[in-house]
Amino acid sequence: MTIRHHISDPLLMAYSSGVLPEAFNLVLAVHLSLCDECKARLGAFDTVGGVLLDSCETVAMANGSLAATLAKLTQPAPHVPPRKSNKILPAPLMDYVGGGLAAVKWRSLGMGVRQAILPTDKAATARLLYIPAGQEVPDHGHRGTELTLVLQGAFHDKVARFGRGDLEIANEDLNHQPIAEAGEDCICLAATDAPLRFNALLPRLAQPFFRI
């Protein structure tokens, strides 16, 4: 697997500092589980963040804070066996799905396209998308940021080709129509912090029902 499209520096810095919505964090965590290059870059940002914390001024803590923290540390944590990645879903995503692809609760969007919205906070929405090989999705623009990570197969649009592990970062400047490549159905993990802007009437009418 050769990953050609990676996390941008601003996004990786935001991930390191913990300021992104949960849905964005999920997409980036899944990409990081597949991409050694971005994982190494994240380590550099984490190091910089640690240096900045060391240089910050200290503040007084409330009485009893240390004792309360130590008490929590001595409490036994519940044993949760770690999930192992399978062929398609990396471990961070399996925790949200509750298993492999068989556990995904798909909902049809028409033309063979399906989605499954994942439970995250309300700052952004994360969803799995299943696009049959050769099928295109409606052309659309963006009112915010959309992150799309390929888990199986590939798609292409006017920007580039995206295969397994590749991340497309779209913003308000991009209008496109992703098309799944022939030969293998395409499965993606996508996150959006604002509704898409569809150009055709029918997708706009269906948009409130599908929460896209």
pLDDT tens string 22-57: 999 999 999 999 999 999 999 999 887 665 566 667
Is there a single domain that holds both residue 59 and residue 153?
no
Q: State the Cα–Cα distance between residues 189 and 150, nearest whole angstrom.
A: 6
Is there a single domain that holds both residue 117 and residue 164?
yes
Please indicate, yes or no, if residue 99 is contained in any of the structural domains.
yes
Q: Give the residue among 141, 117, 143, 140 at the shortest CA–CA distance from 210.
A: 117
CB 191 within 8 A of CB 146: yes
Q: State the Cα–Cα distance between residues 124 and 120, nearest whole angstrom.
A: 8
Boundaries of domain holding 187: 91-210
The tens digit of pLDDT for each residue in 75-105 reads 676 665 666 777 899 999 998 998 899 999 9
Please indicate, yes or no, if residue 39 is contained in any of the structural domains.
yes
pLDDT of residue 28: 98
The tens digit of pLDDT for each residue in 119-170 reads 999 999 999 999 999 999 988 999 999 999 999 999 999 999 999 999 999 9
Is there a single domain that holds both residue 17 and residue 65?
yes
Q: Give the residue among 17, 15, 96 at the shortest CA–CA distance from 51.
A: 17
What CATH number is given to the structural domain containing 96? 2.60.120.10
Please indicate, yes or no, if residue 200 is contained in any of the structural domains.
yes
Please indicate, yes or no, if residue 187 is contained in any of the structural domains.
yes
Please indicate, yes or no, if residue 13 is contained in any of the structural domains.
yes
Please indicate, yes or no, if residue 80 is contained in any of the structural domains.
no
Please indicate, yes or no, if residue 83 is contained in any of the structural domains.
no
Is there a single domain that holds both residue 173 and residue 118?
yes
Residue type, 161: R
Percent helix / strand / coil, the chain, rounded to 5: 35, 25, 45
Q: Give the residue among 200, 201, 191, 199 at the shortest CA–CA distance from 170.
A: 191
With tokens 């910089």, the residue in question is: 48
pLDDT of residue 83: 66
CB 133 within 8 A of CB 180: yes
Please indicate, yes or no, if residue 3 is contained in any of the structural domains.
no
Total structural domains within the chain: 2
Is there a single domain that holds both residue 102 and residue 168?
yes
Is there a single domain that holds both residue 122 and residue 185?
yes
What CATH number is given to the structural domain containing 23? 1.10.10.1320
